[in-house]
């Protein structure tokens, strides 16, 4: 569906929008804000799955004592196969939406939250109007219809709210689900051996309520970091497993926390999938860095274990390179007891993520496949700007996280953010201002940024570490998994990363941003536009 057809389907704003597209925007506080719409279904769109997804506040018995106030997505199947969705067992997160490549899906999103919201389908290659750009946020009581064909590779994608400036708190309150495009790979663990692991950190007060950093500028600067790890929405989870081989679909659904994942039984982490589906072949790592927004599929064989054995999935200690002022080094750490964060929650501390207890001597051992899928490499020589890649500097300017000195404007697109349809490009992302910002003092405010682009999957071609502190690099260097297709990658302080992208199928405006959700909410987000 192109933009014109789409606007015809809108019930509000239809008169102006179709005649004068530019009049569909009104101005508030100097920034353009589109008129919100409530849209109707397309009659000739025949979905394989038609669901209603309602975002609503609710309360939940998470701990003994007081119930916890949260937000949740409630799913109702209107038509299609029951297998198209599933609840995350015992969790307020989710649901899991399961589709197959080529299927058409309609999602009627209903907003019952106190504030505006919009659903973003993280990782999917779909038209801009379907992607959950903040300009399409709807108010309480309104409905937005998503209709799209799933053309992504099989893989583990996800969905979450994306309203301007309040994505962090809405995700934090419980809104996140998986969008799985299924493969028919018989050589991989399936059914009960195919297990999602959504990793999030949270903080609760004495009455079991979620604590967030609202109205705390220094806290927002660093991003929210909690003192408790929840897996699939459960605090202190233990998974009972059998002596079988498992496929774990791991999503870092945290606002700001970066994980350095490792097994405590001394085995390597065997990665079989990334953001955009299965790798060409399995990759073994002593540990795996997983930044907010990223997914990794991990192969784990418990078949050699005795019943009763407990194996921990851990996050190991690392130096995240955060520096929050003059003197550089670890100033962020030094300040964390006071201004920044309570002690013991910093990025880079070690903790247990989940316990896997072998309780049953049964199940299925599988052999690790030698090859998993076909990845067609994009040829760097095809890039129209291979001699002169676009550069995106992620840094701090006057206590504000920026990209090339700019913050988010709802429909703002700079010349350096316009790309041509059906072209291949190289983009380079640089953590640091390279002398373009406010000089020494500001340049020393550095943090890791998980960089994410909407609308497509890309390939990582280079990680340049020449500007990095040695101690920082040494503590993370074996954990980068840059094979396959990606939509999010970790950009450490001083690091430069080059990616290859192909702009295909859809014209229009998509966002790219830091997936540290507090940075995103502060405006470390911009639009890029695919034009003719």
Q: Which residues bind ligand C2O (CB under 6 A)?
A: 120, 122, 160, 162, 293, 452, 454, 511, 513, 515
Binding part of the chain for Cu ion, among 235-243, 265-273, 317-325, 514-522 by CB under 5 A, reads 514-522
> Which of 130, 324, 514, 530 touches Cu ion (CB under 5 A)?
514
Q: Is 396 in the site for Cu ion (CB under 5 A)?
A: no
Are 321 and 478 a contacting pair, CB within 8 Å? Answer: no
Nearer to ligand C2O, 129 or 443 (CB): 129
Nearer to Cu ion, 242 or 516 (CB): 516
Q: Which does 85 bind (CB under 5 to 8 A by kind): Cu ion, ligand C2O, none?
A: none
Binding part of the chain for Cu ion, among 116-124, 149-157, 204-212, 327-335 by CB under 5 A, reads 116-124
Q: Which does 383 bind (CB under 5 to 8 A by kind): Cu ion, ligand C2O, none?
A: none
Q: Is 526 in the site for Cu ion (CB under 5 A)?
A: no
Nearer to ligand C2O, 144 or 263 (CB): 144
Q: Which does 516 bind (CB under 5 to 8 A by kind): Cu ion, ligand C2O, none?
A: Cu ion
Are 280 and 483 a contacting pair, CB within 8 Å? Answer: yes
Q: Which does 202 bind (CB under 5 to 8 A by kind): Cu ion, ligand C2O, none?
A: none
Q: Does residue 473 sit in helix, strand or coil?
A: helix
Binding part of the chain for Cu ion, among 59-67, 96-104, 281-289, 441-449 by CB under 5 A, reads 441-449
Nearer to ligand C2O, 164 or 297 (CB): 164
CA-based max dimension of the chain: 70
Q: Which does 333 bind (CB under 5 to 8 A by kind): ligand C2O, Cu ion, none?
A: none
**Contacts for 19 with CB less than 8 Å, ≥ 6 apart:** none
Using omega within 30 degrees of 0 as the cis cutoff, is the peptide bond preceding 95 cis?
yes
Counting residues that bind Cu ion (by CB under 5 A) gives 6
| Angle at 440 (CA atoms; ends 437, 441), nearest 5 degrees | 95
For residue 185, the surrounding DSSP H or E stretch is: none
**Contacts for 216 with CB less than 8 Å, ≥ 6 apart:** none
Q: Which does 514 bind (CB under 5 to 8 A by kind): ligand C2O, Cu ion, none?
A: Cu ion
Q: Is 515 in the site for Cu ion (CB under 5 A)?
A: no
**C-alpha to C-alpha distance for 52 and 446, rounded to whole angstroms:** 42
For strand 295-301 and strand 310-315, is the pairing parallel, antiparallel, or unpaired?
A: unpaired
- Cα 303 from chain centre: 32
Nearer to ligand C2O, 122 or 202 (CB): 122
Q: Which does 513 bind (CB under 5 to 8 A by kind): Cu ion, ligand C2O, none?
A: ligand C2O
- Cα 446 from chain centre: 21
Nearer to ligand C2O, 106 or 122 (CB): 122
Nearer to ligand C2O, 159 or 299 (CB): 159
171: phi then psi, degrees, rounded to nearest 5:
-65, -45
> Which of 300, 449, 498, 513 touches Cu ion (CB under 5 A)?
449
Are 109 and 50 a contacting pair, CB within 8 Å? Answer: no
Which pairs with CB-CB distance under 8 Å and at least 24 residues apart come from 373-381?
A: 373/153, 373/277, 373/278, 373/279, 373/280, 374/280, 375/279, 375/280, 375/483, 375/484, 375/485, 377/459, 378/424, 378/459, 378/500, 378/501, 378/502, 379/424, 380/426, 380/461, 380/500
Which residues between 297 and 326 bind Cu ion (CB under 5 A)? Answer: none
**C-alpha to C-alpha distance for 67 and 69, rounded to whole angstroms:** 7
Are 22 and 14 a contacting pair, CB within 8 Å? Answer: no
> Which of 108, 133, 285, 519 touches Cu ion (CB under 5 A)?
519
Q: Give least dist CB 160 to ligand C2O, A.
A: 6
Nearer to ligand C2O, 176 or 313 (CB): 176
Q: Give least dist CB 53 to ligand C2O, A.
A: 16
Q: Which does 508 bind (CB under 5 to 8 A by kind): Cu ion, ligand C2O, none?
A: none
> Which of 68, 255, 347, 516 touches Cu ion (CB under 5 A)?
516
23: phi then psi, degrees, rounded to nearest 5:
-80, -5
Rounded (to 5) percent helix, strand, coil in the chain: 15, 40, 45
Q: Is 454 in the site for Cu ion (CB under 5 A)?
A: yes
Q: Which does 162 bind (CB under 5 to 8 A by kind): ligand C2O, Cu ion, none?
A: ligand C2O
Q: Give least dist CB 488 to Cu ion, A.
A: 8
Q: Which does 519 bind (CB under 5 to 8 A by kind): ligand C2O, Cu ion, none?
A: Cu ion
C-alpha neighbours within 13 Å on the C-beta side of residue 400: 15
> Which of 106, 122, 202, 285 touches Cu ion (CB under 5 A)?
122
Nearer to ligand C2O, 252 or 314 (CB): 252
Q: Which residues bind Cu ion (CB under 5 A)?
A: 122, 449, 454, 514, 516, 519
């Amino acid at each position: 569906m192109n933009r014109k057809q789409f606007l015809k389907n809108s019930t509000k704003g239809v008169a102006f929008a179709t005649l004068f597209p530019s009049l569909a925007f009104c101005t508030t506080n100097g920034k353009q804000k589109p008129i919100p719409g409530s849209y109707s279904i397309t009659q000739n769109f025949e979905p394989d799955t038609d669901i209603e997804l309602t975002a609503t506040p609710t309360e939940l018995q998470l701990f003994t004592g007081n119930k916890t106030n949260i937000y949740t997505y409630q799913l109702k199947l209107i038509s299609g196969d029951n297998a198209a969705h599933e609840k995350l067992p015992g969790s307020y997160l989710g649901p899991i939406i399961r589709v197959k490549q080529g299927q058409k899906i309609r999602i009627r999103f209903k907003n019952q939250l106190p504030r505006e919201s919009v659903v973003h389908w993280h990782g999917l290659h779909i038209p801009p109007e379907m992607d959950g750009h903040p300009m399409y946020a709807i108010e309480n009581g309104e409905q937005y219809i998503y209709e799209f064909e799933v053309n992504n590779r099989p893989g583990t994608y996800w969905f979450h709210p994306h309203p301007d400036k309040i994505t962090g708190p809405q995700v934090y309150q419980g809104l996140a689900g998986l969008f799985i495009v299924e493969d028919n790979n018989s050589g991989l663990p399936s059914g009960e051996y195919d297990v999602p692991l959504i990793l999030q950190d949270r903080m609760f007060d004495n009455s079991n309520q979620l604590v967030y950093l609202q109205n705390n500028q220094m806290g927002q600067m660093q991003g929210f970091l909690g003192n408790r790890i929840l897996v699939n929405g459960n605090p202190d989870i233990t998974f009972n497993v059998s002596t079988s081989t498992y496929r774990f679909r791991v999503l870092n659904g945290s606002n700001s926390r970066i994980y350095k994942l490792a097994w405590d039984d001394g085995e390597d982490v065997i990665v079989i999938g990334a953001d955009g589906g299965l790798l060409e072949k399995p990759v073994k790592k002593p540990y795996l860095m997983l930044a907010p927004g990223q997914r990794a599929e991990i192969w784990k064989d418990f078949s050699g274990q005795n019943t009763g054995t407990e194996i921990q999935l851990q996050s190991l200690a690392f130096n995240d390179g955060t520096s929050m002022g003059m003197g550089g080094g670890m100033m962020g750490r030094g300040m964390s007891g006071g201004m920044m964060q309570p002690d013991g929650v910093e990025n880079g501390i070690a903790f247990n993520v989940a316990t896997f207890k072998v309780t049953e001597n049964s199940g299925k051992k599988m052999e690790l496949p030698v090859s998993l899928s076909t990845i067609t490499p994009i040829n760097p020589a095809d890039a129209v700007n291979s001699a002169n890649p676009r550069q995106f500097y992620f840094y701090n300017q006057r206590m504000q996280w920026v990209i090339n000195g700019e913050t988010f404007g709802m429909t703002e697109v700079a010349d350096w953010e316009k790309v041509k349809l059906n072209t291949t490009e190289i983009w380079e992302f640089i953590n640091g201002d390279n002398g373009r910002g406010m000089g020494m003092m500001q340049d020393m405010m550095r943090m890791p940024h998980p960089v994410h682009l909407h609308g497509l999957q890309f390939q990582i071609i280079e990680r340049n570490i020449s500007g990095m502190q040695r101690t920082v690099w040494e503590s993370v260097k074996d954990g980068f998994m840059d094979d396959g297709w990606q939509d999010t990658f970790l950009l450490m302080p001083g690091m430069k990363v080059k990616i290859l992208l192909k702009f295909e199928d859809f014209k229009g405006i998509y966002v790219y941003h830091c997936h540290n959700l507090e940075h995103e909410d502060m405006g470390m987000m911009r639009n890029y536009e695919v034009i003719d």
